[in-house]
């Protein structure tokens, strides 16, 4: 799947809108990103390419599924903007190439309460 994004880098307009390209151009050289992982995923290794610039959104993704009682973990990383392969206009999803990150520092913590879910309007557990 990552090949799709990497292949599109030579022609970003195929994958990104003008607004998304503008967002990328305005980001600093290094960006703080977060990833919410379910309980059972690794606590210190990303299980996917989708990240977010919002810690609250990552926390929402770390919420327990209906069959689970424990929350997952929120991972945090400082990544170069060049590692971003795609970004949504609302910056809630960022797809990154983990291979482009030369130094990965991941801080893991257990996700917080369900209050985040209610305040963001993303639904309930």
Q: Mind listing the pLDDT tens digit of every residue in the chain (125 residues)?
A: 566 555 555 555 567 788 888 888 899 999 999 988 877 777 777 777 889 999 888 888 887 766 666 777 888 888 888 888 888 878 788 988 888 776 666 776 766 644 444 444 444 43
What is the signed CA dihedral for 18, 46, 63, 93, rounded to 10 degrees? 0
DSSP-assigned letter for residue 70: S
For 44, counting Cβ atoms within 10 Å of its Cβ (0-12 exposed, 13-18 middle, 19+ buried), the class is exposed
Q: What is the pTM of this model?
A: 0.72
CA torsion sign for 27, 30, 32, 33 is positive
Q: Angle at CA 64, nearest 5°, toward 58 and 68? A: 155
pLDDT of residue 53: 92
Q: Residue 9 belongs to what domain range?
A: 2-120
Domain count, the chain: 1
Q: Give 85's Cβ-side CA count (13 Å radius).
A: 18
In a domain, 114, yes or no: yes
φ and ψ at 86, to 5 degrees?
-160, 155
In a domain, 125, yes or no: no
In a domain, 37, yes or no: yes
């Amino acid at each position: 799947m990552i090949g799709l994004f990497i292949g599109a880098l030579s022609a970003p307009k195929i994958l990104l809108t003008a607004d998304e390209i503008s967002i990328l151009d305005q980001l600093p050289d290094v960006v703080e990103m977060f990833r919410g992982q379910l309980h059972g995923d690794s606590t210190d290794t990303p299980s996917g390419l989708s990240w977010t610039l919002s810690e609250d959104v990552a926390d929402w993704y770390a919420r327990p599924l209906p069959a689970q009682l424990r929350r997952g973990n929120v991972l945090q990383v400082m990544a170069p903007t060049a590692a971003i392969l795609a970004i949504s206009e609302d910056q809630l999803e960022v797809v990154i190439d983990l291979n482009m990150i030369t130094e990965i520092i991941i801080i893991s913590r257990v996700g917080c309460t369900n209050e985040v879910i209610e305040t963001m309007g993303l639904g309930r557990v």
